[in-house]
Chain A
Amino acid sequence: MQYQSQAVAKPYFIAAIGLFVGQILFGVILGLQYVIGDFLFPEIPFNVARMVHTNLLIVWLLFGFMGASYYMVPEEAETELHSPRLALALFWIFLVAGALTVLGYLLVPYATLAEITGNDLLPTMGREFLEQPTITKIGIVVVALGFLFNISMTILKGRKTVISMVLLLGLWGLALFFLFSFYNPTNLILDKYYWWWVVHLWVEGVWELIMGAILAFVLIKMTGVDREVIEKWLYVIIAMTLITGILGTGHHYYWIGTPEYWQWWGSIFSALEPIPFFMMVIFAFNMVNRRRREHPNKAAMLWALGTPVMAFLGAGVWGFMHTLAPVNYFTHGTQITAAHGHMAFYGAYVMVVLAMISYAMPILRGRAAANSEKSQVMEMWSFWLMTVAMVFITLFLTGAGVLQVWLQRISESAMPFMVVQDQIAIFYWMREVAGVVFLAGLVLYIMSFFVGGEEKTAQA
């Protein structure tokens, strides 16, 4: 560790992994509820399990992004963090607020939670992914502002690199677009219209900048390739991301009451969204081929190379599959979307955070560069288990989706939604098995942190 204050990243990474476990446990419960509808009912109804599964994902990724920023920024800016104490204080505030919110979801009915938290004063609840009580949302804004203040001050007083600027742009964008979660118009179309400004402009906009910056940082550290080369790539990638991603928002505006031109705009621009992801694949492999050193942390290298590949497949290919308006006319809101969502989130954001953790954690735990051979082998096993399981989750959901579209929307004798759900149960069962394998991979991942052995050093 070059700077003492980088150590604040450690609790963030640990919390991220802890919440990740929670997310996957609820995912497995949820997957089972698709086929055994009253499983754990009435304790954990389907809608609550789903809410916890998706909210935990977002919260742990935010923990991961914050930890990554606290680790990267001092090294990039070549100075200590502006205030490590603020970073630690915000960590506890965010963790406690997050835990209370999830407990609220689990222990009281959602309507009661809305009542207790004074939702009627400023109603923001009840919308997918933005289910958090208004006070939690305000808490998120406070934590984000404190975090941004800390990171921005650090960058301002130190060296300003392209990587830290791209990261900062992404993080500020993340905070700004979240403000739209407080805008809750009564018109359902307008509501959805701005809802996507949080959801889409996060994951297909500013988060991609954060992802690009983290990936570039890890690659610089591991390959020793010239900063200049990596920065040029980063420029081109973020430019393409913003050009395609911002107007690509239009691919969510089909058939919800917005003007028809969105069908064209959304189709054309979002069809190009795979390009920046493909550039990331070329970028990562190019950098590794040109490497000037053999970094001893092979596990981190595996995550860093896996990230762009899975992101391209999940976000790029699986996104493109149903992004054109004439296709989306049939697939809108089916299991095709779920298939895309799973692999895109895993490939782009889960893996990039795990790549960062894999790179930084050994150093944060006092090692020179890497864990022992044995620990790395176990971590690489967990990489393959989780990644392959995710591929199968995606394929099974795609199968379910194709069949669902056919039975429910195309076939001459179209069936109602719930009847179709029964017909495609076999895919849900197979998805559940893949989900359990994913959980096993995650357990192995955590075990790898506890494997001792002699530290691996660079090969000659």
Chain B
Amino acid sequence: MNSSVQHANGRYPPGDFAIWIFIYAELLAFGIFFLSYAFARANNVELFNESQLLLNRTAGAINTLLLITGSYFVVRAVAAIRDDKAQLCSRWLMAAIMMACAFLAIKLVEFYTKYQEGISLSTNTFYMFYLSMTFFHFMHVILGAVILAAVMLKARNGAYSREEHTGVETGGSYWHMVDLVWIILFPLVYIIR
């Protein structure tokens, strides 16, 4: 269990420091979105509650599971490279990318359904937030998957080892951020009333 807090070279935070500046900036952006949502909701509780019931919570719940599972796979990938098993690491990363793709597919169906119902950014404030925040997050899932894919290819080509695998930790950290944001976004927008 302790291995999750130990880093290859004992550094904290893990991965490249630059990614952490980026992660904090991203969290700040989402944080401001969440705060704005809270303020807008406080002024219009009824509308938010009504519109919220029309969202597909099952799809949201499945997507939450997919992202958490993806994060677990990323953890396994980091553990694998710490054991110097680069091929295993790249396979775990592939599994995480598959989770991301499944998430994107389900989200696309959700977006499509809403589009069919004639819902847009201008429908009401709730949908403005729902569409903006989930789309913004959607783009981050794509970016996260692209980063993981780049790391996976490098791992497959033997670029990482037990001693030097900063790249894996960097990609992993970013992915966990994408996951974390969804874990807040899902209950906030789909469930809490």
Query: Residues of B contacting A235 with CB < 8 Å?
Result: 18
Question: Which among A236, A239, A264 is the interface contact of B36 at CB below 8 angstroms?
Answer: A264
Tell me the complex Cα distance, A261–B128, Å.
6
Tell me the complex Cα distance, A196–B3, Å.
52
Decide if B21 touches A279 in the complex (CB within 8 Å): yes
Contact A236 to B18, CB < 8 A, known contacts A261-B122, A268-B33, A272-B29: yes
> Chain B nearest CB: distance from A276 CB in Å?
9
> Chain B nearest CB: distance from A2 CB in Å?
30
Decide if A261 touches B21 in the complex (CB within 8 Å): no
| Secondary structure dominating the interface of A | helix
Which parts of A217-270 form the interface with B (CB within 8 Å)?
232-233, 235-236, 239-240, 243-244, 259-261, 264-265, 267-269
Decide if B22 touches A239 in the complex (CB within 8 Å): yes
Residue of B nearest to A267 (CB): B36
Tell me the complex Cα distance, A259–B28, Å.
25
Which parts of A329-368 form the interface with B (CB within 8 Å)?
none
Tell me the complex Cα distance, A275–B24, Å.
11
> Chain B nearest CB: distance from A305 CB in Å?
21
A271 at the interface (CB under 8 A from B): yes
Interface string of B1-36 (1 = CB under 8 A from A): 000000000000000101001100100110011001
Interface string of A278-308 (1 = CB under 8 A from B): 0100000000000000000000000000000
Question: Which among B16, B21, B121 is the interface contact of A259 at CB below 8 angstroms?
Answer: B121
Query: Residues of B contacting A279 with CB < 8 Å?
Result: 21
Residue of B nearest to A237 (CB): B21
Decide if A268 touches B22 in the complex (CB within 8 Å): no
Question: Which among B21, B122, B129, B132 is the interface contact of A260 at CB below 8 angstroms?
Answer: B122
Question: Which among A244, A264, A272 is the interface contact of B132 at CB below 8 angstroms?
Answer: A264
Residue of A nearest to B127 (CB): A261
Which parts of B120-177 form the interface with A (CB within 8 Å)?
121-122, 128-129, 132
Question: Which among A232, A261, A275 is the interface contact of B18 at CB below 8 angstroms?
Answer: A232
Query: Residues of A contacting B18 with CB < 8 Å?
Result: 232-233, 235-236
Decide if B121 touches A272 in the complex (CB within 8 Å): no
Query: Residues of B contacting A239 with CB < 8 Å?
Result: 22
Query: Residues of B contacting A271 with CB < 8 Å?
Result: 32
Interface string of B63-75 (1 = CB under 8 A from A): 0000000000000
Residue of B nearest to A282 (CB): B21
Tell me the complex Cα distance, A236–B21, Å.
8
Contact A268 to B21, CB < 8 A, known contacts A259-B122, A261-B132: no
Q: Which 7 pairs show the lowest CB-CB distances between chains A and B? A: A261-B121, A261-B128, A232-B18, A236-B18, A259-B122, A268-B32, A236-B21
7 additional contacts (CB under 8 A) given A239-B22, A275-B25: A235-B18, A240-B22, A240-B25, A243-B25, A244-B29, A261-B122, A268-B33
